[in-house]
Structure 1
Amino acid sequence: MTQLSEWADQYRAELEKQSSVRASQVESLLIAGDYEAIREWLQEWESEDKAPNSLQKRYRETRKELKKERYRQRQQQLYGEVIDKITGKASAQATNQDAGFLPTTDFNR
């Protein structure tokens, strides 16, 4: 999970850097009044971002996998806690029986 988290952080940093570069480019074209070039760049970036191995898609996939892994680990933790509670109660009942206590069930009354 650590590796997934590191990849997600790296992709996010790269996306932020890419966004900053793109914003600077659009800003300079706005100042120049070259609106056609802005449209062309936007179309270019849109097609880049739709590519199967784009930075944006890699980031989204990594985040999705990280979320799944966190969910899986949380489920394992909860499952372990339930097992601990069950075995803890079973252990306590065995200790009570060894000490001469009878379990509290309807058929022992």
Structure 2
Amino acid sequence: MTVDGKDQEIDCLALVATDVSLIPVFEESQVYEADGKAAALVVSNNAEQLNKDSGELINGLYAAGPILSAAVDGEGVLSGNELTEAVVFGSTAGTEAAVYVSDNQ
């Protein structure tokens, strides 16, 4: 994955894609967490991936899991907060992806 213009391995990325060709379609910005590093995503309230430059939706691509701790909390994330965010956004991303697939068959 490209992070800040350099190829780097990010160990806490989780995406729900309705089409595998959607991954990866964007560059990430690196955010340092209290317990390591993560790539921050720009997402809507429905966990939909947004283009970081235009702010437009990337249809069919949703974010879930620990990757959102950096996006939600920035550098101040505490490990205990990650579980709640992972569950909430994981559920949201899965539900929204299912709705997207159902609506676009």
Please confirm whether the aligned pair reaches a TM-score higher than 0.5, indicating the same fold.
no
More strand by share: 2
Higher relative contact order (CA 8 A, sep 6+): 1
